[in-house]
Structure 1
């Protein structure tokens, strides 16, 4: 996984600006403040949280199923945000 291979890369390496914006808003609503120099591993952890990952200190890294669930939920939330704001660019 990208988060394990390149955890210190910038989130723009794998996420679009819209995805980053949605993740930042979701984290802020949950009371988590974004870091000054965000890393891709932090964003992937937020995606894993959407998939049910609890992110406790003794938990192993999230697996493929949790990441898939989180990614799927993120895409649904992003679509809803685009439809609500009128910026949806569907086919």
Structure 2
């Protein structure tokens, strides 16, 4: 997940599609509500913070940017959510 945090730091104005699939973006929009601090953030950074929140990041005003560990945990959880979503829609198997 190092690449995801680096993309968001080097190119924060990049579109979310640079790092996430359309399904991942849709699931993040449905599952994780925007924080007041990130509601106006660029799409890539906003989605990275949503993934980090799935991994346990609290996103308080005094918190440092999310690190690799919390993003890794969030991506693992998002992958599990996506698998369940696709199984429910009969896309898999």
Which blocks of at least 5 consecutive residues in structure 2 are unaligned? 1-5
Aligned counterpart in structure 1 of residue 83 of structure 2, from 70, 76, 79: 79
Q: Which residue of 1 aligns with 2:10?
A: 5
Q: Which residue of 2 aligns with 1:51?
A: 55
Q: Which residue of 2 aligns with 1:65?
A: 69
Aligned pairs, number: 86
- Whole-angstrom distance in 1 between the partners of 2:16 and 2:67: 19
SS in 2 for 1:18: helix
**TM-score of the pair, normalised by structure 2:** 0.82
Q: Report runs of 4+ in structure 1 exceeding 2 Å deviation.
A: 35-38
Q: Would the alpha carbon gap of residues 60 and 22 (structure 1) be closer, same or farther in structure 2, given more than 3 Å must change? A: same
**TM-score of the pair, normalised by structure 1:** 0.84
Q: Which residue of 2 aligns with 1:14?
A: 19
- Whole-angstrom distance in 2 between the partners of 1:64 and 1:36: 23
